[in-house]
Amino acid sequence: MATDLDIGMNDWMVKRLTWDDSYRPDHGKVLDAAALEKLKRFSRYHDVDGDGIAARTLPGVGGKGAYFVRGSGHDKHAAYTEDSDAYRELVDRLKRKFDHAATLVPRPAYTRRPNADVGLVTLGSCDAAVREAADRLADQEIIVDVMRIRSFPFADEVREFIEAYDSVFVIEQNRDGQVRTLLTAELGIPRDAMTPILDYGGMPLTARVVVEAVTGALSEVTA
């Protein structure tokens, strides 16, 4: 991102942060020594319950928990393999894990106004500028909804949001429209159903860029 300098060289105000002292981290499926003892054999990449997530162990915990993390082809026991079926089984598990992850990751943040027929899709540091642009467009009686994607893989709401509007703009700060490409690739939404608004001049995105791009595009349609 070209905004590094802007972020790095200036002081930024944030809201006061809070910390919930009752919070305890959930490490997920981690087998302790006792659980390992009960197993005949620990298989690092074996999906027992179908959610695609295999239990892991922490180094040094139990003799049975050891496994080898490797880049070369391996089977569900983390053992080297050249067997296609064993390898395919693992890659299919990763797909299940990925799909399952989409249901657990943070949901997108979005507005739903009854009379909006334009959707603005954005993410990350573009958000503030896009929301400001939405207010300015409302001044011009263009009612838009804004969705900030907060995670990948995309949650179902991402698709629902995009499919709900006649006009959808994807606002991102790069030359190639990477987020739009991902939306097409992952959700199968036709490229042309989403109009890119790309800003890559090295400065933080401003609401003006968004407002001009949206009004310009809409007037083209009406013209």
Q: Which residues bind other proteins (CB under 8 A)?
A: 16-21, 24-25, 58-63, 65-72, 79-80
CA distance 35 to 62: 9
CB atoms within 10 A of CB 197: 26
Give the nearer residue to other proteins in terms of CB position, either 42 or 161: 42
Burial status of residue 137 (CB atoms within 10 A of its CB: 0-12, 13-18, 19 or more): buried
Nearest distance from residue 173's CB to other proteins, in Å? 28
Look up residue 223 and give its two tokens: 């013209």
CA distance 103 to 211: 33
Give the nearer residue to other proteins in terms of CB position, either 19 or 219: 19
CA distance 67 to 43: 8
Give the nearer residue to other proteins in terms of CB position, either 67 or 152: 67
Give the nearer residue to other proteins in terms of CB position, either 42 or 154: 42
Nearest distance from residue 55's CB to other proteins, in Å? 15
Nearest distance from residue 99's CB to other proteins, in Å? 27
Q: What letter does residue 27 receive in the DSSP assignment?
A: -
Nearest distance from residue 67's CB to other proteins, in Å? 7
* End-to-end CA gap in the chain: 36
